[in-house]
Amino acid sequence: MSLLIKGGTIVTHEETFKADILCKDNKIVEIGSISNIPKDAEIIDATGKLIMPGGIDPHTHMQLPFMGTVAKDDFASGTVAALAGGTTTIIDFVIPNPQQSLMEAYKQWREWAEKAHSNYTFHVAITWWDESVSKDMATLTEEYGVNSFKHFMAYKNAIMATDDILVSSFTRCLELGAVPTVHAENGELVYHLQNKLLAEGMTGPEAHPLSRPSSVEGEAANRAISIANTLGAPIYLVHVSTEEAVDAIRYAKDKGHTVFGEVLAGHLTVDESVYQNTDWATAAAHVMSPPFRPKKHQDALWNGVQAGTLQTTATDHCAFCAEQKAMGKDNFAMIPNGTAGVEERMMVLWEKGVNAGKITPNEFVALTSTNSAKIFNMYPNKGCIRVGSDADLVIWNPEATKTISAKTHHSNIEHSVYEGMEINGVPETTICNGKLAWHNNTLLSKSGDGKYIDRPTYAPFYESLKKRKELNKPLAVKR
């Protein structure tokens, strides 16, 4: 079965041009003015529309067991939402319990993900350390296509990675050619501030941002970057939300260090005033970590995006419903941390970035797809439009409008942090693995259609990296 997209304008991270695209067997097989149409071809008219690489969300948490409950979106509902928003690949997180085998946790997540509608792959979190963890990291990179490992510097007494774990794991990542990623918040300070605020009688969501001030993120970002640089390892900071963290990344990059930064669509557009909402449930629905910040930090984040200090956009999609959030009714520290957004990310970035004149359509493609593909070694199979690349595409109508609302989104929760936002420019068709997966507001993919994506390591390059300390531009391996 072939799929022909005719009459559209192709937008990549590098160029914009009009051409038809012919897809067959999950690959792009021809680009240009296509007149020799296969008899079995399904034809999509994209006249007046843009054709872009399918979105890659490098940070989601589907079906995550966390803080005594499990996220409401599993790999089925979460990936349906992704496809509705133009995202064809997610990078989710395997998070072992302390003392749990990495391989045991990984196999559990793989089993959960078998019902995915979109493509998926995994970062694996390092939540404890001994020799078995080191061995499992090697197995994951060599046999299972994992090339990135996550480290939580927050969540004391749960999954927090202490400095000695960071040193051991970063060193192992360097040996294996994997990318260490970090949630940068000083967990000791957060724990101290939470207890202090609770002792003072502050129990509601308004205390959440006070327990995680911007300095807590800035300190941790500087510390993680310093550890990685001392060891000669690259580092990827997830959900950068503060001016201090942007400054830390910029300073390190200016010194020639290998640092990548990710920003959430939510942190670019939502500010901390949401925690002052007099309706407890509404305020609690916005509780995530790092929290939403004062508007001055949004300016710093946009500057970081425009300057290339921050290379990727994500969602940290981790959906908890009102009933789950109410677990922290009398203690803000017990409110499950997380918000949704995998469906809205690309639309929000288009409206607040492209339409606002802050980024170009080509930069939009880089931020929502190509850079993640390059950093996590899926390029050029993913993140670009060229002959031989995977047929993961989104057809975008720049003239269509939409009002974001929880009433119409596809997440399993009853709240949207973007409620009421007016969007001009929306995804109309999502093509995943060469097939129509979402078209005209209709789901066409089936549970299990999503494919697991192997991501080779950068091991061949790391020896030269140690010598030249140069990985500021995402590396890519042609396979």
Q: Which string of DSSP letters, residue by residue, matches 343-402? A: TTHHHHHIIIIITTTSS-HHHHHIIIIIHHHHHTT-TTTSSS-STTSB--EEEEEEEEEE
Q: ω before 290 within 30° of 0 (cis)?
A: yes
Distance (Å, rounded) from C-alpha 174 to C-alpha 10? 37
Return the number of other C-beta atoms located less than 10 Å from residue 48's C-beta.
11
Question: Which pLDDT belongs to residue 467?
Answer: 57
Which residues have a Cβ under 8 Å from the Cβ of 365 and sit 6 or more positions away?
11, 12, 13, 52, 53
Sign (positive or negative) of CA dihedral 261, 258, 392, 307: positive
User: From the first residue on, what is the mean pLDDT of each consecutive set of 10 residues in the chain (479 residues)?
Assistant: 96 98 97 93 97 98 95 98 98 97 98 98 98 98 98 97 98 96 98 98 98 98 97 96 98 95 98 97 98 97 98 98 97 98 98 98 98 97 98 98 98 98 98 97 98 91 57 45
Distance (Å, rounded) from C-alpha 456 to C-alpha 15? 27
DSSP summary character for residue 14: S
Distance (Å, rounded) from C-alpha 211 to C-alpha 195? 9
Sign (positive or negative) of CA dihedral 120, 449, 403, 382: positive
Per-residue pLDDT tens for 270-291? 999 999 999 999 999 999 999 9
**Whole-model pTM?**
0.96
Helix, strand, or coil here: 302? helix
Residue carrying the six token digits 């920003």: 263
Can you say how many angstroms the Cα of residue 417 is from the centroid of all Cα atoms in its chain?
A: 17
Question: Which pLDDT belongs to residue 473?
Answer: 52
- The answer to whether 346 and 315 have CB atoms below 8 angstroms apart is no
Distance (Å, rounded) from C-alpha 33 to C-alpha 234? 42
Q: Which string of DSSP letters, residue by residue, matches 115-151? A: G-SSEEEEEEE--S-SHHHHHHHHHHHHHS---EEEE
Distance (Å, rounded) from C-alpha 141 to C-alpha 129? 17
Indicate the residue type of 328. G
Distance (Å, rounded) from C-alpha 150 to C-alpha 136? 14
Alpha helices (H) along 276-355: 280-285, 295-307, 322-325, 345-349
Can you say how many angstroms the Cα of residue 343 is from the centroid of all Cα atoms in its chain?
A: 12
Residue carrying the six token digits 């997209």: 5
In the sheet that 16-18 helps form, which strands lie side by side, from edge to edge? 16-18, 9-11, 50-53, 393-403, 422-432, 435-439, 442-443
Distance (Å, rounded) from C-alpha 287 to C-alpha 279? 13
Token couple for 340: 């949704």
Helix, strand, or coil here: 80? helix
- The answer to whether 8 and 49 have CB atoms below 8 angstroms apart is yes
Question: Which pLDDT belongs to residue 471?
Answer: 46
Question: Which pLDDT belongs to residue 478?
Answer: 41
Question: Which pLDDT belongs to residue 461?
Answer: 64
Distance (Å, rounded) from C-alpha 53 to C-alpha 396? 10
| Cα torsion through 199, 201, 205, 210, rounded to 10 | -60
Domains along the sequence of the chain with CATH: 54-380+454-466 (3.20.20.140)
Residue 177: half-sphere exposure toward Cβ, Cα within 13 Å: 19
Residue carrying the six token digits 């990542």: 173
Query: Residue 184: what are its φ and ψ, rounded to 5°?
Result: -95, 95
